[in-house]
Homo-oligomer: A and B are copies of this chain.
Amino acid sequence: MSTAPRQLNLNLFIYPNGHHEAAWRHPLAAHQRVLDVSFYQELAQQAEAAKFDAVFFADGLGIGDGVRYASRFHLEPITLINALAAATQKIGFIATASTTFYDPYTLARLLAFTDHLSHGRVGWNIVTSSLKRAAQNYGLAEHPSHAARYARAHEFVEAIGRLWDSWEDGAFINDPASGLFADTDRIHPAQFSGEHLSVAGALNVPRSPQGRPVYVQAGSSEAGRDFAAQYAEAIFTAHQTLESAQAFYRDVKERATQRGRNPAHVKILPGLSPFIGSTEAEAKALQREFDELIQPDFSLLQLKNQLGLDVDLRGHDLDAPFPLHLIPDNPDQAEHSRFQLVLDIVKREQPTLRQLLQKLAGARGHFVLAGTPEQIADHIQTWFEQGAADGINVMPPWLPGGFEVFTREVVPILRQRGLFREEYSGSTLRDHFGLPRPESQFAPALAQAQAA
């Protein structure tokens, strides 16, 4: 057992202009740099200077309904993190990629190479893609059901794990004198054959520095939690209350334990979108500036999607109570992972439609906090120490300033309180997260142990 005090993990979650849905309209946001690689390289360098664990990018495989109103589009994560890794030395990068719409051989190569090129700094956020129009972009007549997507996801993770393990660590010989480049006795075909996919061969690249990328997950449905408990080494999650986060934390750690995993190797990082001011009033005033830039037509479209509604919410009185009767009794909640969260807000706070939209505008259901640096640090410390979080998924409301102020004002307080590292102790993402490097499942010792 380590005797070092438990330390926070901090992840920077980058949305192009920041997480507030109106960020791109505020003069503080660098909206004109939204497609400029140097903008993201500077943010990654800033996160590295602050000793963050990783930078994370979400993804979506189709154009969003609200593209007219707001910059809710997704940067392609894999190309981007390679451009950012080339401009940094230590910080990790987590790319979202879909088990429904990638082939395992393609993704295995892309991420194995990213791990090589970055010297072991890659994580994979495993998603099954809830966006219905994605299926049509991939030639499918209809979007696979939640159950079918998760069934394929299980096969996918199994298959891609075999690919990443297919070269044992010692298989890459590269000895000019003997002329032996690879020890083919230590390269193993994946030989995975499932109902949804199959993969025959070995990968065509030596095992990567981390063995395989860090597995990250963000599903909150029942199936998503179970999947996370089985595979995830880090989990992003959204909670509006400490109690909800605590219950999630307990539940997932228990599920992992029941599966024979070390719960310490499942890092749970709730999201936090902080508006920071030198007084609480100043912070709240700043938040109001952003909220006033919201375009209700976009917000209503987003809410409709989050709740899986069939009706158009536009035209409803924004200042009347939220029209609870519109919410279906029993939606396929799995398809809409924010459904329960939004419903809880409505029941707890009884907001008007406008109030609900503003509540969600900050970070799509993630916790938004406007306060002083001390108040932000207090929140993080409370969640960290009271069984709700191993770290925080930092979601700046706008960029770059909304992140810069966090690193300048909040991170030093976390350090003074002994909660966050002064310096990296390793150089891979596994090192930062305190995760073990997995051995290849084909390695003789492991294969023997498993056979016994």
- Name A's B-contacting residues (CB within 8 A): 24-27, 29, 31-32, 34-35, 37, 41, 60-64, 67-71, 73-76, 78-80, 82-87, 101-103, 105-106, 109-110, 112-114, 116-119, 133, 136-139, 174, 176-177, 179-184, 187, 197-206, 293, 295
Q: Which residues of B contact A206 (CB under 8 A)?
A: 35
Q: Which residues of B contact A295 (CB under 8 A)?
A: 179
Contact status A180-B68, CB under 8 Å: yes
* Chain B residue nearest to A32 in the complex (CB): B174
* Chain B residue nearest to A174 in the complex (CB): B31
Q: Which residues of B contact A177 (CB under 8 A)?
A: 25
Contact status B200-A37, CB under 8 Å: no
Assuming the contacts A34-B174, A139-B198, A200-B133, asked whether A181 and B80 have C-beta atoms less than 8 A apart, the reply is: no
Assuming the contacts A70-B181, A86-B86, A179-B69, asked whether A203 and B113 have C-beta atoms less than 8 A apart, the reply is: no
Q: List 19 A-B contacts (CB under 8 A).
A: A35-B116, A37-B118, A61-B109, A61-B204, A62-B201, A63-B202, A63-B203, A67-B184, A68-B182, A74-B204, A78-B79, A79-B79, A79-B82, A79-B113, A80-B113, A83-B117, A86-B87, A103-B139, A179-B295
| Shortest 5 CB-CB contacts between residues of A and residues of B | A136-B200, A86-B86, A76-B113, A82-B82, A25-B176
Copies of the chain in the assembly: 2
Tell me the bound Cα distance from A86 to B40 in angstroms. 12
Distance of A193 from chain B, by nearest CB (Å): 9
Tell me the bound Cα distance from A200 to B134 in angstroms. 9
Contact status B136-A181, CB under 8 Å: no
Assuming the contacts A69-B179, A101-B103, A103-B138, asked whether A76 and B205 have C-beta atoms less than 8 A apart, the reply is: yes
**A60, A182, A184, most chain B CB atoms within 10 A:** A182
Distance of A44 from chain B, by nearest CB (Å): 11
Q: Which of B29, B61, B75 contacts A105 (CB 8 A)?
A: B61
Distance of A11 from chain B, by nearest CB (Å): 21
Distance of A40 from chain B, by nearest CB (Å): 9
Tell me the bound Cα distance from A202 to B63 in angstroms. 7
Q: Which residues of B contact A105 (CB under 8 A)?
A: 61, 101, 137-138
Q: Which of B79, B86, B200 contacts A41 (CB 8 A)?
A: B86
* Chain B residue nearest to A159 in the complex (CB): B139
Q: Which of B106, B119, B139, B187 contacts A63 (CB 8 A)?
A: B187
* Chain B residue nearest to A204 in the complex (CB): B63
Q: Which of B34, B138, B139, B181 contacts A67 (CB 8 A)?
A: B181
Q: Which residues of B contact A73 (CB under 8 A)?
A: 204-205
Contact status A76-B109, CB under 8 Å: yes
